[in-house]
Structure 1
Amino acid sequence: MKNKKRRSAPLRAQQNFARTSVLPETVRMAKQGYTHRVVAWVHPEEGDDIMESIYYKGIPQDADVRNRLRQKGSTVLDDYEVVPL
């Protein structure tokens, strides 16, 4: 059996809520031609983390997502997930 990273149940529940709570917005953006949503967490130097949804028309490049997180003031630039619409 492969050694997989296991996430705690509360963390999985929080991530599932974050993915599904933006459903109406996702449907609207898909109708406008967007094909991918990036669910990213902005980690500022101080304060709470913020979930950010970024929509793309086409597959987003890592550099684009990292630049966007940097612009938002995140100290962590790789905490995101690409979700096809």
Structure 2
Amino acid sequence: MLSRTQKFTAIQGDVELTAEISPCVFMYQGYGLQLTVTLPKGGNTIVARKDIPIETATEQDCQALLESVRVLPCNVCQKPAFDPSSCSTNRDGKCESCFMAELNAAFEKETKKEDAKLKRDDAKFKARGYTHRVHAWIHPASGSDYELMMWMINPTQEEITSELKKKKSVDTTDYKLIEL
């Protein structure tokens, strides 16, 4: 029987892939064989054979599954990246560094856009006589939390609490009061 800590390696060109059996296969009966495969400079992917129960899986099954993973040069910097045609990955042929740089750049761009919109909204409400913005998180009993912005005129804690209760928030303290 395979152990929870067993590791496997495979060479793809000049890249050594490492893999370990994913913990979920031991947690959920009938899950099937699944490996978490890691590149030497970061990044991992999942490969699975749901038709092979972990109870009967062999080291050879694990090795064959690992060897099915292909590596190609990153389409940005040429470092090793997972070949999306051979495994489950959302990196689209990019190495972890390039993927994360692209993701962080997109996040930064979106954050700046949202900050600029909030600044415009604050100015618009201030011009209308509002004095504060309440940045709150609503925590309904259903558990589907969401963010809320409210502009108010010299709000008291009681007024803010009342507004959050109207939104059916079970926590009326999760807010930040920002002076405009």
Q: Residues 1-85 of structure 1: matches in 2 within 5 Å?
A: 20=115, 21-58=117-154, 60-85=155-180
| Residues paired across the two proteins, number | 67
More relative contact order in 1 or in 2 (CA 8 Å, sep 6+)?
A: 1
Larger relative helix fraction: 1
Q: Deviations over 1:26-55 (max 9, x none)?
A: 111011111111111100111421111111
Amino acid at match of 1:57: I
TM-score (norm 1): 0.69
Q: Which amino acid aligns with 2:156?
A: Q
CA deviation map 1:38-84 (0-9, x unaligned) = 111100111421111111122x1111111110100101010001000
Query: In 1, distance between residues paired with 2:145 and 2:122?
Result: 21
Separation in 1, partners of 2:132, 2:177: 7
SS state at 1:22 partner: helix
SS in 2 for 1:69: helix
**Structure 1 residues without counterparts, runs of 5 or longer:** 1-16
TM-score w.r.t. structure 2 length? 0.35
Unmatched 5+ stretches in structure 2: 1-110
**Percent identity between the two aligned chains:** 28
Q: How big is the alpha-carbon RMSD for the aligned residues of Structure 1 and Structure 2?
A: 1.7
CA distance in 2, matches of 1:25, 1:40: 16
Q: Which has the larger radius of gyration?
A: 2
